[in-house]
Amino acid sequence: MARAKTLLCNGRFVNSLYEFKDLSKQDSSSFDARLYLGDSYAKMSYADSARDVYDFMLDKNHLDSMQVKMVTQRKGWLPVTGVAAIIETFPNYVGLAPLFNYYSDNLSFKLTQLGSRLELGLTNFLSLGATFMKTWLSADPTALDQNIINSIPNLPGAGSLRHSRSCLC
């Protein structure tokens, strides 16, 4: 067991795999041998084989709660592949954020926006988002009179504004 663990720690995964296979055949109830056998498969990027070993341990062995936690943790580290990856990881995340903006100035102009943003994580590197927004604009037509605008001190460009009596409604 010590030799197999040393091989695993030193990165000699093929040799450690053979050692742990032999150890698990010699003692089929050995928790460590099966656990490190799964780890050897995982280190060699054989996630499906590692998952099979971990599933076998959870199904057939009588494990205590700490051992179950160790096996499920290692199983969670394995990448999910194939169609199961899409089913198990969709959606990766969902984000919903409310949006509210309000602006008002001393010329009676008002802007109000109300909406939300929705994000859906399709995979761990691709997401899809949408923003829904309703906007209200309003202004008092009498406040848009050129004489009133010219009377505002320090308003840049006040003299160049054209006379307008339109309403932004």
- pLDDT bucket at 108, cuts 50 / 70 / 90: confident
pLDDT in tens, 112-145: 999 999 998 887 788 899 999 999 988 877 766 7
Q: Within 10 A of 23 (CB to CB), how many other CB atoms are there? A: 19
Question: Do 18 and 71 fall within a single domain?
Answer: yes
Distance CA 91, CA 147 (A): 58
CA distance 52 to 47: 9
- Please check whether residue 106 lies inside any domain of the structure: yes
- For residues 7 and 75, membership in a common domain is answered with yes
The Cα 98–Cα 131 span in angstroms is 10
Helix (H, G, I), strand (E, B) or coil at 103: strand
Phi-psi region of 157 (alpha: psi -120 to 50; beta: other; left: phi over 0): left
Query: Does residue 167 lie in a domain region?
Result: no
For residue 86, being part of any structural domain is answered with: no
Average pLDDT over residues 84-103: 83
Residues 152 and 125 in one domain: yes
* Higher-pLDDT residue of 30, 87: 30
91 has pLDDT over 80? no
Which amino acid, residue 134?
Answer: K
Question: Residue 67 has which token pair?
Answer: 């051992």
Domain span including residue 145: 94-160
Residues 111 and 134 grouped into a single domain: yes
Do both 16 and 71 map to the same domain? Answer: yes
Q: What angle do CA 27, 29, 31 make, to 5 degrees?
A: 105
Same domain, 150 and 125: yes
Taking the alpha carbons at both ends of the chain, their separation in whole angstroms is 80
| 85 falls within a domain | no
Q: Give CA–CA dist 68/55, Å, rounded.
A: 11
Q: How many domains does the chain have?
A: 2
Identify the domain boundary among 44, 79, 114: 79
Instruction: Characterise 167 by phi-psi region: left (phi > 0), alpha (psi -120 to 50), beta (else).
Output: beta
pLDDT recorded at residue 169: 44
pTM for this structure?
Answer: 0.52
* 78-89 residue pLDDT tens: 887 767 666 766
Residue 166: per-residue pLDDT: 47
Q: What angle do CA 159, 161, 163 make, to 5 degrees?
A: 110
Same domain (yes/no): 15, 74: yes
